[in-house]
Structure 1
Amino acid sequence: METNVKAIELKDLWRRYKASGDGRARERLVVAYSPLVKYVAGRMASGLPAHVEEADLISYGLIGLISAIERFDLGREIKFETYAIPRIRGAIIDELRSLDWVPRSVRARAREIERANAKLEHKLQRAPTDEEMANELDMTMDEFQDALIQISNSTIAALDELWTVSDASGDQISLLDTLQDPDAPDPEKIVDASELKDRVADAIARLPEREKLVIALYYYENLTLREIGEVLGVTESRISQLHTKAVLRLRSRLQSEDAEAGL
Structure 2
Amino acid sequence: MPMPLTSPTGWCRALIFDFNGVLADDETPHFRCFQQALAEQGFRLTAEEYYGTYLGMDERTCTAALIREREGRDDPLLLARITQRKAELFHASSQAHRPALFPGVIDLVKAAKATCRLAIASGGRREQIAYALSGTPIEQDFAVIVSADECAVGKPDPAIYALTLKLLNGREPRPPLIRAEECLVLEDSQAGILSAKQAGMHVIALATTYPAPLLSEAHAVLPGLEGVTLQQLMSMTVRSSR
Interval of TM-score (by shorter of Structure 1 and Structure 2): under 0.3
Larger RCO of the pair (alpha carbons < 8 Å, separation 6+) = 2
Using structure 2 for the length normalisation, give the TM-score: 0.25
